[in-house]
Amino acid sequence: MHMADALLAPAVAAVMYAASGTAAGISIHQLKKDDDTRKLPTMAVTAALVFAGQMINYTIPGTGSSGHMCGGMLLSALLGPQAGFLSMIVILAVQCLFFADGGLMALGANVWNMAFYGCFVGYYLIWRPIMRSGWFGSGKGALRSRIIAASVIGCIVTLQLGAFSVVIETSLSGITELPFGAFAALMQPIHLAIGLVEGLVTSAVLVFVYESRPELLRELDAADAGAGKHSLKTTIAILAVLALLVGGGLSLLASGNPDGLEWALFGNAENGYSENMGLDEEKFGLTSAAADKAAEIQEATSVLPDYAFDGSDAPAGTTVSGIVGSALVAGAALLICLAGGFFRKRKRAA
């Protein structure tokens, strides 16, 4: 789910940086206030572990495919939301800086999509209420079930939120022609499946930790203290609200395009757009009519208007001379490379 730089407009990237930066600032403030900076070594080692752990392939029983683990829920269950969030930021930064996974500009968005939801929403709205609730009765078995429930629900919900944010950010950036609703209809179900697997893997790890060193998990004491029915009600209420938000938003979008992606992909053809393609091509050369038409269709099919830079949208650069020029540029780039190689060789020889 790592966004690449290319998928974001600078303005969107900046907004996401501001949002993630604020969350990071608050987290740091909180950690300092609680004098939790001594957790620094644990945060670093755990972050490094999660970074490596994300590369493990987990075989999904009954299928040939494999799943991975998400860090957010695991880290916040182990370190608490603030420390977990900062650890996730660092993991994403290492991935972006050294592995080109995500981008420098997209880091803010990636932190928001993957770390913010996983750590804060996952912890405060899912992990803590469920661990404190009276679900599954009391005792060791009940706690284990609660860990599993919290991990699975947490991963699914936070991944849904993350995926939805990816859709919003990409659409706002005016990158894809894919209509908003269709994009969401494509992303959300995929991430439902991914979230389920991630949740199960995360719960397996957390249950293992619970059985060997329960003191490492957050909110277990509170759970042992046995919270009452009230918090169960709160949990359900919160989950219901969340489900409504996500589901409602989704269905609203989906209803705009009754059959989602299918409609989006083939509906245009039925609407007669393909006939346009059959018309005399010359009419659709490089005239503004074509561009207008493109814009019109885009307006019609996307829920959000096109946010791309209006001025540069005019296909001024898209001419034959532009193509020839691009080829020249490529040639020049190649020449620079060759020249660099030549000078290096001479330097080495000297």
Partner 1 sequence: MNKMEHALHELSEMDALAAGTSPIHRLSPLTKLFAAVLDIVLVLSFGKYDLSGLAAMALWPVALFQISGIPVRTCFRKLRVVLPLVMAVGLLNPLFDRAPMLHLGGVAVSGGVISMLSLMLKGVLCLMASFLLMATTPIDSLCAALRMLRVPTLLVTLLLLTYRYVGLMTRELAVMTDAYRLRAPGQKGIHVSAWGSFLGQLLLRSMDRAQELYSSMLLRGYHGSFHYANVRPFGTADAAACAGTAAILALLRAVNVAELAGRLFTR
Instruction: Scan residues 31-60 and list those touching partner 1 (CB under 8 A).
Output: 31-32, 37-38, 40-49, 51-53, 55-60
Write out the chain in H/E/C secondary structure.
CCCCHHHCCHHHHHHHHHHHHHHHHHHHHHHHHCCHHHHHHHHHHHHHHHHHHCCCCEECCCCCCEECCCHHHHHHHHHCHHHHHHHHHHHHHHHHHHHCCCCCCCHHHHHHHHHHHHHHHHHHHHHHHHHHCCCCCCCHHHHHHHHHHHHHHHHHHHHHHHHHHHHHHHHHCCCCCCCHHHHHHHHHHHHHHHHHHHHHHHHHHHHHHHHHCHHHCCCHHHHHCCCCHHHHHHHHHHHHHHHHHHHHHHHHHHHHCCCHHHHHHHHHHHHHHHHHHHCCHHHHCCCHHHHHHHHHHHHHHCCCCCCCCHHHHCHHHCCHHHHHHHHHHHHHHHHHHHHHHHHHHHHHHC
176 binds partner 1 (CB under 8 A): yes
Nearer to partner 1, 25 or 247 (CB): 25
Q: Which of 115, 156, 163, 200 touches partner 1 (CB under 8 A)?
A: 200
Q: Which of 240, 258, 319, 345 touches partner 1 (CB under 8 A)?
A: 319
Site string for partner 1, 204-243 (x = CB under 8 A): xxxxxx--xx--x---------------------------
Tell which positions 140-159 bind partner 1, by CB under 8 A.
none
Q: How far is the CB of 132 from partner 1 (least distance, A)?
A: 23
324 binds partner 1 (CB under 8 A): yes
Tell which positions 122-141 bind partner 1, by CB under 8 A.
none
Tell which positions 267-306 bind partner 1, by CB under 8 A.
268, 273, 276-277, 281, 284-286, 290-291, 293-294, 297-298, 301
Nearer to partner 1, 124 or 309 (CB): 309
Q: Which of 93, 172, 238, 303 touches partner 1 (CB under 8 A)?
A: 93
Q: Tokens 């490529």: give the residue.
A: 330
Q: Judge contact between 260 and 181, C-beta under 8 A.
A: yes
89 binds partner 1 (CB under 8 A): yes
Q: How far is the CB of 340 from partner 1 (least distance, A)?
A: 3
Q: Judge contact between 106 and 8, C-beta under 8 A.
A: yes
Q: How far is the CB of 164 from partner 1 (least distance, A)?
A: 15
Tell which positions 57-76 bind partner 1, by CB under 8 A.
57-61, 64, 66, 69
Q: Judge contact between 20 and 132, C-beta under 8 A.
A: no
Cα dihedral sign, 36-41-42-47: positive
Q: How far is the CB of 11 from partner 1 (least distance, A)?
A: 9
Nearer to partner 1, 240 or 286 (CB): 286
Nearer to partner 1, 135 or 183 (CB): 183
346 binds partner 1 (CB under 8 A): no
Q: Which of 96, 153, 159, 250 touches partner 1 (CB under 8 A)?
A: 96
Q: Which of 248, 299, 325, 345 touches partner 1 (CB under 8 A)?
A: 325
174 binds partner 1 (CB under 8 A): yes
